[in-house]
Each structure stands twice: as C-alpha cells, then as structure tokens.
Amino acid sequence: MVNGLSEFERIIGYTFHNKDLIHEALSHSSYANEKKKQRRSNERLEFLGDSVLSIVVSQYLFEHYPNLPEGELTKIRAALVCEKSLHRFAMQISLGDYLLLGKGEAHTGGRERPSILADAFEAVIAAIYLDAGLEAARTHILRFIPTNLTEKRSLLFGDYKTALQEVIQKNPEEKVEYKLIEESGPDHSKTFVVDVCLNSNVIGKGTGKSKKEAEQMAAREALALMGYET
C-alpha cells in the first residue's frame, strides 16, 4: 500500500504528514472487520468529512452567487454533495483503485459501488482537514466544483430534458422532439422506449417505466454524446 499511497497522494495533489489518517480514510468497514483491532474503518472520518464538505461548498456558493436566494443555494448545494456527485468526483481521482476492501466486498464490485466511493471521498476530505486544517481541505474540495453552476443547474438536478433544451436554445433554428417508439409489458409494469430527435435526426434513446422517465434518459444520452457530464 505504500507505493499505492504515494501514487494516490500525487493524484490528489496532497502529501499527508500523518499517513495513518489516509490509511483510515481508505479503509472500508469490510476491510477493518477482517483486520479486527488492527484497523479502523473510514466511517468516523466520513461523518466529519460530510460536515467539512458542506461548510466549504456553502461558503463557496454564498460568496460566488450573491444574487441567488437561499432556496436556490440550498438546491445547488444538495446537488453538489449528493451521492451521485461525490461518486463522480471519486471517479475523477480513481479513488476505487486505492480503497482497502474486505475480500468479499472486493469480489462483488465494491470498488465501483457509488455509496462506497462517495463515503470514501468524504473520508479523504476529513483526513486532509485533520492533517492540515480547513484551507487544505478547501483547496482539495474546490478542485471538483464546476464553474458557471447557475448555467448547469438543470444538469445538476438530473433534469436532463431542461438541460438539453437549454443547450439547443443557443441555436434558435434547431428543434428538439421526443418520439415514443416502443411500449411493452403488462399495464402494471410497462416499459417505454423514446427517441429524442434534433431536426428529425435521432440524437439519443432512453428506456423507462414511464414516458417521462424514458424521455429524461433519452435526453441524458444526447447530452453525454454532446460531451456534457451527466
């Protein structure tokens, strides 16, 4: 783990004074349980990291978006600190490659599990905070906060149809249309397949348990193909 730890420190751009902190941050409960008293899990650090993340993101939004009301700030913060976002941030630093997992967890896809990665991401924040203070933790966290958040609110909130419409509106002559192409299954458990078209050209396909869900998934695929993170 020593070589792996050095590589992880290089990726996050921070070198720990107290290596025990980062070892603990990367130790999942399944690994700690196998090691019994030799290792503590990252659950306590995750608890602390959640609070550090919240205060850093809150202050950032408060200072950078002075005209947004409290309700909008709350929504954006929630979108930034939710499991989906933390999982995406963790993937950016290949966090799963460095996790210490129990054998069973490792063999059942624990390194890719969103909840495990999101928790570990918060634990790493806490480890940096305890090792060097709030400013070091802030520097680490702000690497992951997208710029122009107000322009990306729909994407943050998972409203892919609105996000796609906002992208297309930049070219007024373009037209987006959703077409139901397949409907199957019994009435109580139907599946819908929808194409989203740009000027009659299919740019995304989505499947869902309702037409609305299928449309959202089609818009999400279209955004991904356009290079937008979803």
User: Which one from 9, 43, 50, 166 is the annotated catalytic residue?
Assistant: 50
Residue 220 CA to residue 230 CA, distance in Å, equals 7
Residue 63 CA to residue 111 CA, distance in Å, equals 35
The beta strand positions in the chain, using DSSP E, are 176-184, 191-198, 201-208
Half-sphere exposure of 193 (CA within 13 A, CB side): 7
203: nearest Cα among 215, 191, 192: 215
Residue 213 is a catalytic residue: no
Residue 11 CA to residue 5 CA, distance in Å, equals 10
Residue 119 is a catalytic residue: no
User: Which one from 122, 195, 215, 221 is the annotated catalytic residue?
Assistant: 122
8 Å CB contact between 20 and 34: no
Which two tokens mark 112?
């890719």
Positions marked active-site = 50, 122
